[in-house]
Amino acid sequence: MDRKFNSFKGDRDKRGGGPKRYAAPRPKQSSLIIGRQPVMEALNSGKSIERIYMLRTATGDIIPQIRELAAAGNIPINTVPVEKLNGLTQANHQGVVAIAGNVTYLDLQDVISHVTEQGETPLFLILDGITDVRNIGAIARSAVCCGAQAIIIPDKGVAALNEEAMKSSAGALEKIAVCRVNSLLKAIDTLHLNGIKVMTSEMETDVKLYECDLKEPVAVIMGAEDNGVYPALRKASDTLFRIPMAGNFESFNVSVAAGIILYEALKQRTIV
């Protein structure tokens, strides 16, 4: 589906997981918005911004305004030491550097309303703690191929949708709605209020994937391979299921698991 709304190993920064397996490359200089006023103008213009890096000790009248606009747009702000900013650019950054986004993030409720108004049955993915951009790109590609309409990500604890993510997705991230939220738990509440069932892929359960009804409106939570899905999100889910495996091996890669789940949904929805 085109973007007509607007016309399993990773680290866990918030849960103390193991060491990072994948380190994102340094942002291209052409993607940087450098300085207080340029960042402010970008925010006011509605330009897509992936993340803002702000000096921990930054002060001045414009700083609260930047924070307010960023919060309104669910744009994460990382407060960092000056060494981090100097590592991003040698220009006069004035304590503020933003990274221009490759994706236009959409409001979750707007996406739900659009999908249902089009007469489609929602099939969404929720990504929790997946920090390898290549996995996210591969998941997006499978999502588009299997008819999913949206991917929901948190504003923290997930890989930036940078140039490598776009490349890994083979353009799929431009063809699917991406909703960035400040709380996945609140996103689940929104999904429930709209009659969308939330399911979690979990190895330790008796329910098998093919026993689930994926013809109904559903959002599937996929977690990182090392820590799985955050316990509070599992608890908020309606169903826990697992992908049956022939052998006693560790698990599927998260992007492969997502592809299997999405294809099962496609099969159920297309077989008469």
Phi, psi for residue 145 in degrees, rounded to 5:
-60, -30
Q: Are 176 and 151 in contact (CB under 8 A)?
A: yes
- For β-strands 96-100 and 77-80, DSSP reports them as unpaired
Of all residues in the chain, the percent with pLDDT exceeding 90 is 67
Q: Record the tokens describing residue 20, joined without a space.
A: 């990072």
Measured distance CA(15)–CA(31) in Å, rounded: 29
Among positive and negative, which fits the CA dihedral 11, 16, 18, 24? positive
User: pLDDT band at 2, cuts 50/70/90?
Assistant: very low
pLDDT score for 10 = 38
Cα-Cα-Cα-Cα torsion 179, 182, 188, 189, nearest 10 degrees, comes to -120
What pLDDT does residue 57 have? Answer: 95
Q: Which structural domains are found in the chain, ordered by start?
A: 29-100 (3.30.1330.30), 108-270 (3.40.1280.10)
Mean pLDDT, all residues of the chain: 87
Average pLDDT of 14-26?
Answer: 45
37-88 pLDDT tens trace: 999 999 999 888 989 999 999 999 999 999 999 998 889 999 999 999 999 9
3-state secondary structure of 134: helix
pLDDT of residue 78: 93
